[in-house]
A = this chain, B = another copy of it.
Amino acid sequence: MEENVRERCPTGIESLDNILNGGIPRGNSVLITGAAGTGKTTLSIEFLVRGALMDEKGLYISVTEVSEKLIENMITYDFFSKSKIKEKIIFVDMPDIYNELSLNRLRFSLEDINLIIEKIVDIIKRNNIKRVVIDSITSICYRLQTEEKIMEFILKLSKELSELGCTTLMVSELLPTAKGYSQYGVEEAIADGIILLGNLERKGDLLRTLRIVKMRGTSHSRATYVLDITSIGILLVPLLKGGGETQL
């Protein structure tokens, strides 16, 4: 037997790292997927902040929210250090990248895709980034539309980011009753991992849940966990099924 365990990028969310046997295999591009309100952005930001506290630099590419408002919403957590965030995390608004590249058309071509990837790679290299969040990949896909272009985009981007040693979270927006793990179905096939966030109705309340559906390069639990957003960050507890609840 050849011993070979891939290096990990610990998320810093302790319970999540336990489920992943130490963290996300470094270099993986992982889909964080779920409906509105299930905690995708919260998890992604904690991933970057925990990285910053471990002195890994992070990049947050925001497509659906103005990044200023985002930062404002972030600083309600105990473990947030405003100075660390400023020093270690770079926030970029995707529309600004589009503007810089003069991409003002609504549908992107393969050439446009290459330009965008180059631009992102450039930011990463210049800043020695090790953790990337794209919030959301779905919003970028709206401008690609066809499965082939989405495949090209995610495949190339993942390859480049992996070669740069970056571990990446790609936020994916689902309808509450979506059939797959992603808007176009392609994203889930190409991603190295899928972390599914969901809702669970219990006694009139709506719990958040997390399940790791897929993670290349490591064994992992595939059970469902309840996800709690607390002032000290995200906590995961195994879901013990009782009565009166419905998975949504």
Measured between C-beta atoms, what is the minimum distance from A4 to chain B in Å? 5
Across the interface, name the chain B residue whose C-beta is closest to A191: B36
Contacts of A222 in B (CB 8 A): 37, 205-207
Measured between C-beta atoms, what is the minimum distance from A78 to chain B in Å? 5
Across the interface, name the chain B residue whose C-beta is closest to A231: B1
Contacts of A143 in B (CB 8 A): 148
Check B155 against A5 for contact (C-beta < 8 Å): no
At the interface, yes or no: A46 with Cβ under 8 Å from chain B?
A: no
- Count of residues in A whose CB is under 8 Å from the partner chain: 81
Identical subunits present: 6
Check A205 against B229 for contact (C-beta < 8 Å): no
Check B176 against A179 for contact (C-beta < 8 Å): yes
Check B194 against A155 for contact (C-beta < 8 Å): no
SS of A interface (majority): loop
18 contacts between A and B (CB under 8 A): A6-B72, A36-B181, A36-B188, A37-B194, A37-B214, A69-B216, A106-B146, A106-B148, A136-B189, A139-B151, A142-B148, A142-B151, A173-B185, A175-B185, A176-B181, A177-B179, A219-B229, A241-B244
In the bound assembly, the distance between CA atoms of A231 and B177 in angstroms comes to 35
Contacts of A81 in B (CB 8 A): 2
In the bound assembly, the distance between CA atoms of A79 and B64 in angstroms comes to 38
Q: Report A21-67 residues with CB < 8 Å from chain B CB.
A: 25, 27, 35-37, 64-66
Contacts of A82 in B (CB 8 A): 2
Check B180 against A175 for contact (C-beta < 8 Å): yes
At the interface, yes or no: A147 with Cβ under 8 Å from chain B?
A: yes
